[in-house]
A and B are shown apart, each in its own frame.
Chain A
Amino acid sequence: MVGVIIVTNHNVDAFLLNVCSAIITNNQQVAAKLLVDPASHSLPTDLRGELIEVARTHPAASMNSVVRLSYYLPAWVQYIGQRLVLLSPRLGYWLLRKTKLHHRWY
């Protein structure tokens, strides 16, 4: 989802920032692109490991049992349910983290 745009002349390693962002957002697409870059071989081992893990996994809403159950409900119930969840921002955040779909926000 995210096309990472970091242009800087500061003493900040843009590639490293990019890698961190891909890990935080759990973005498989960006992680896969970064891994192809030769600069990824000079990353610290733990960061590279995390990046490989993000690129390997494909988070999908259907991995969550609550979300999976909702697929058996009528569409209008899903529609109202999604909006009800948003009445509580904390519950919304929790569900997004749990389903690992928070990268969809970006």
Chain B
Amino acid sequence: MSRHKVLVIHALRPTSRQTTIDHLLAFREHLPNADVQYLHFAQPLPKGMLNQVEPDLLIVNYDYLNYRFTPLWPYIKNRHRNLARQSRKVVAIAQDDFWAHRLLDNWCISWKVDRVLTPIDNDLHVLYPRTIKHTDIRTVLTGYAPTSVEPSDPLAARPIDLGQRVRAMPAHLGAYAKAKAHQTIEFSRHVREAGFIVDVSRRVEDGIVGVDWPKFLRQCKFTVGMKGGASIADPYGLLYARVEARRQRRTHNHDTADSIPFLRRRDGKHRFSAISPRLFEAAAAGTCQVLRPDDYLGVLEPWVHYLPLNYDFSNVQEVLLAMRDLERCQEVANSSRKQLINSGKFSYRRLVDDAVNGLLADSPSAVATTWSELVSYLSRADQLCKPEMIYLHDAAMHLIHETLNDQHRVSQCAETQVSNSISQLGLSGWLHEQSENSKSDSLSGRSPWIWRAVA
């Protein structure tokens, strides 16, 4: 019996968050009756293969769509356009829609997207003025409850009192985007002064990625957060360019939306907010959350599932006092875990259902030879990512790609080392094939082919 052919396009990087990887793997896990394949957008493919594959459903993940911020976007979106046209249905999973949303809107029209999944549930006519007329737009979450939850220590046994990592968001997203980092840093100052052990940072180099993040959360008694989002829409990313140029021209870089006239005019007209995946990550780790009072999926109650910290920090002493009562906080963490994780209401199945319900036809199309060829080509490439093989560093792949294409290149010490290692591993032939496949490609010519399979 033939199965539905589902192709997921992604753009995983070695620094991708675990949530993004879980997001992608959910489709294979929750669609057991479909043949789900993953294609990295930069994966070189044999000539003509892309133009002949006809999936029943093409799912485009948000990490791919986030390349719209880069100058490479015209080449990236054109590379797989034929594939989208040959697909029966196309689903786009968007995030950070408020940034370069007109590019996203135009892309939806160009690829004839049938359904858009977005974490934003308000002002969609601003973000998708063209798409909203023709396309089904559904609200989803940025993250879901992980399928398997590792056991965690009780709060009293954890070494860190307050732990969190935040990014200092750029000024062009408005005051609301900055509020998250501000709240975290300000609250951590209060907590530190009260004598607690704090591990909070907004420096990029302190970032924790992949499986290390849940491990870190399991060592923290408390974490602090709020909904993420923006209060300014930046249709083409030009506001970002203006703010960045202004920052470079000036010696100080403490600009906020309030201190820049062209942002002040726009700030606060909209509020695009979304629930952060950290809500689930913290609940799964059994960490007690300190959150700004808000509507969290309609299921979290202040003082029952989280400790509410007011926007103006007016109740900070009350929260600090509550943090000293670990028994009570343990109950809060347990109820939050029960509500978000154990209830099963927010599992990845919900995302998969939102993505595919009503779009997969009753009878799958016949399996064409090209689909089988694609599957066997991708699985051969996957073999190289098995744990017993090697997870290649992107740079190593890039280096070999460049060396193969430029015979006159003078190798440096480090480059020679990598080349030798690659040939020892017997990967030279495979890399040569990949480079040959990418030679006539407009995207590969402009960016090194960087590829990572979902392993």
Of B238, B390, B395, which is within 8 A of A7 by CB? B390
Q: A residues touching B (Cβ–Cβ < 8 Å)?
A: 1-13, 16-25, 27, 29, 32, 46-47, 50, 61-62, 68, 70-73, 75-76, 78-79, 82-83, 85-86, 89, 92, 105-106
Q: Given known contacts A72-B249, A75-B241, A86-B71, is B395 in contact with A106 (CB within 8 Å)?
A: yes
> Contact between A6 and B237 (Cβ–Cβ < 8 Å)?
no
Complex CA distance for A52 and B264, rounded to whole angstroms: 43
Q: Which residues of B contact A2 (CB under 8 A)?
A: 13-15, 393-395
A29 CB to nearest B CB, Å: 5
Complex CA distance for A90 and B64, rounded to whole angstroms: 24
Q: B residues touching A (Cβ–Cβ < 8 Å)?
A: 13-15, 71-72, 74-75, 204-205, 209-210, 236-239, 241-242, 244-245, 248-249, 387-396, 398-399, 412-415, 417-418, 421, 424-425, 445-448, 450
Pairs A–B under 8 Å by Cβ, sample size 16: A2-B14, A2-B393, A6-B390, A11-B424, A12-B421, A17-B418, A18-B393, A19-B414, A22-B395, A23-B414, A24-B395, A29-B205, A46-B413, A62-B248, A86-B72, A106-B13
> Contact between B391 and A86 (Cβ–Cβ < 8 Å)?
no
Of A9, A22, A68, which is within 8 A of B388 by CB? A9
SS of A interface (majority): helix
> Contact between A20 and B415 (Cβ–Cβ < 8 Å)?
yes
Of A8, A61, A83, which is within 8 A of B71 by CB? A83
Q: Given known contacts A20-B414, A105-B447, is B14 in contact with A4 (CB within 8 Å)?
A: yes
Q: Which residues of A contact B421 (CB under 8 A)?
A: 12-13, 16-17
A17 CB to nearest B CB, Å: 5
Q: Which residues of A contact B446 (CB under 8 A)?
A: 86, 89, 92
Q: Given known contacts A10-B425, A17-B421, is B245 in contact with A25 (CB within 8 Å)?
A: no
> Contact between A79 and B237 (Cβ–Cβ < 8 Å)?
yes
A2 CB to nearest B CB, Å: 6
B12 CB to nearest A CB, Å: 11
Complex CA distance for A82 and B414, rounded to whole angstroms: 31
Complex CA distance for A4 and B210, rounded to whole angstroms: 11
| Closest A-B pairs by Cβ, 10 of them | A20-B414, A82-B71, A75-B241, A21-B395, A71-B245, A5-B391, A21-B393, A75-B238, A23-B414, A25-B395
Q: Given known contacts A20-B415, A20-B417, is B245 in contact with A75 (CB within 8 Å)?
A: yes
Complex CA distance for A61 and B241, rounded to whole angstroms: 13
Q: Which of A2, A29, A76 has the most CB of B within 10 A?
A: A2
Q: Which residues of B contact A72 (CB under 8 A)?
A: 245, 249
Q: Which residues of B contact A25 (CB under 8 A)?
A: 394-395, 398
